[in-house]
Chain A
Amino acid sequence: MDEEETPPLMQRILDNPFILLFLGVAAPAVLYLIWGIMEIISVPVAN
């Protein structure tokens, strides 16, 4: 009975648009934007 009332964790994640929104903004922000900016910042400035 409990199993019917509580959907599996993955389904609960997929059913919550705001968790998905957080993941969908955070993942590319970290993997693309922040990683990329950190690499650009670490390029030595020419003298």
Chain B
Amino acid sequence: MSEQFRTCPDTGLKFHKPAENLMKANAVAAVVFLLVGGIYGLLVGLTRWPAVHLLPADAFYLTLTAHGINVLIFWMIFFEIAVLYFASSVLLGCRLAVPKVAWAGFALMLIGALMNNYIVATGTSSVMMTSYAPMEAHPLFYLSLILFAVGALLGCMVFFATLVVAKQEKTYEGSVSLVTFGAITAAIIAVFTIVSGAIILVPTLLWSLGFIAEIDALAYRLIWWAFGHSSQQINVAAHISIWYAIAAICFGAKPMSEKVSRMAFLMYILFLQLASAHHLLVDPGVSSEFKMFNTSYAMYLAVMASMVHGLTVPGSIESAQRAKGFNSGLFEWLRRAPWGNPTFSGMFISLIGFGFLGGISGVVMGAEQINILMHNTVYVPGHFHATVVIGSTLAFMALTYWLVPILFRRELVFKKVAAWQPYIFGLGMSGVALFLMGAGTLGVPRRHWDITFSLTGGVVHEFPAAANTMLALNGLSVILAVLGGALFCVIIVLSILFGRKLGDEKQEPALIATPPDDAAYEGIGRGSISVPGTFVMAMVFFVAFALYYFINWKYLAETWGIS
């Protein structure tokens, strides 16, 4: 049995070889679909730029469909399955349960992803990711998503089975680690997501084949969003687990309070999926009570959970840094952080971007009254490029830089370029998020090929000139972000293929930080506050939150003048 395991010389982690191969396969597939989706994203951005307006209408909708599905579904879920196997088999030091089932799941996901790319590329399924019925796609479009979802569900089942194996074989004592607990949260949200997808996609497939006469448009939207929005909440739970992991990897940090962090994850398990109702805020047929309860994530309990994570992750880093002696002033701990290490810088940019750009805009969009200012405008993709791309994708990229030498035993190539990559990608994607949100505030609709409505046969609407500027700046930001994304893909692919083989050689500097002694935590911080820098950052966040919330109510007040 022991020949089935190898021990990483850098981290001491035990890798079960079948799990290791599955992690590699899922991670490589993820990066390939990120590359494909990123290329489609460049074409979308250049078409939205009015002065360039690259693609004709048909090609734009095809491209938008392919971009959304490749990056929001395939890149994310493949990577998350790799994370689930890492958080179970590797972090709990046990064998992966039923690897054959895991391979069957991977095969279904791969077949589904390839089939979907093929059928979308034929131009028969340009229905965008949401594929709202009664807009009809080719039956293979729905079948491909069902196959992919079934494969992902098998991956989740293998994850839960591996937790049972670890418990039965007593490979750990007490509770699982916080990172594994976060992965459990992600897997639970994934199960709800996939079941919801099956509930709506199976009848839609039958409808596209002519076996069912009609699909109710409102019921479709309600159930589809339990799949479409919740799939992004899997990402949130996964990337927050990765934040905790990277805090431990780079600083030897321990959570400020395991109990509080676990309760925050429990709030996610119970309520994070409810935000799907954001998308129904202007639908008739569902009540305001339903909308307000659900879009507030159950009276803001899951929002509070995000703020807990946003506070405790930098707080744990600050504690560890102060315990190591970087205890002067408010921000010495942050100044002395390893900003040239893409694992840390990627994670920290992810944290700031997710909180300030994605979190605040998400809560604003979730308030029924002010949502009307930006509902179905490009503000929405602006928001989710902050959450899913800066938040999740950048966190996944950051972890990948650490995983290449650990998992593939290859040295990273182009280390200096890798050190810059999170900044290039983070800056570009922050521009995309901000400028799309700006254009959306000015009313520019999402999912629209041309803001001059040139092919609509007489519809005339002139947006403020600033909207054109915003979309041009968005185009420039897209180019920068795609450059950052391409650098990531090139560095990772070349490292895996041609990076120097590491074998049993131990890396310098160490790939995992030594935790400070418990005694070193005594007396850190200022006065009674052990993490004053994080406290100040949290206050800045709350002020920004309150100001932006107020500004949107002011905008709303100006929408209809009182005469």
Contacts and interface: CB of A to CB of B under 8 A. Distances in A.
A25 interface: yes
B219 A40 contact: yes
A25 B216 contact: no
B347 to A, nearest CB: 25
A24 B270 contact: yes
A27 B301 CA distance: 13
B188 A20 contact: yes
B480 interface: no
B244 interface: no
Contacts of A15: 175-176
Contacts of A43: 284-285
Given A11-B175, A20-B266, A35-B290, A28 B226 contact: yes
Contacts, number: 83
Given A14-B262, A20-B188, A37 B219 contact: yes
Contacts of A36: 222, 277, 280, 286, 290, 294
B404 interface: no
Interface size range of chain A in the complex: 20 to 34
Interface of A: 11, 14-15, 17-18, 20-21, 23-25, 27-29, 31-33, 35-37, 39-40, 43
B287 A39 contact: yes
Contacts of A28: 192, 226, 230, 270-271, 273-274
A14 B175 CA distance: 9
A25 B219 CA distance: 19
B285 A40 contact: yes
B530 interface: no
Interface in B266-325: 266, 269-271, 273-274, 276-277, 280, 284-287, 290, 293-294, 298
Contact of B196 (A20, A27, A31, A33): A33
Given A21-B191, A39-B285, A39-B287, 13 more contacts: A17-B188, A18-B160, A20-B269, A27-B269, A27-B271, A28-B230, A28-B274, A32-B276, A36-B277, A39-B290, A40-B219, A40-B222, A43-B285
B81 interface: no
A32 B292 CA distance: 11
A43 to B, nearest CB: 5
A32 B191 contact: no
B266 A21 contact: no
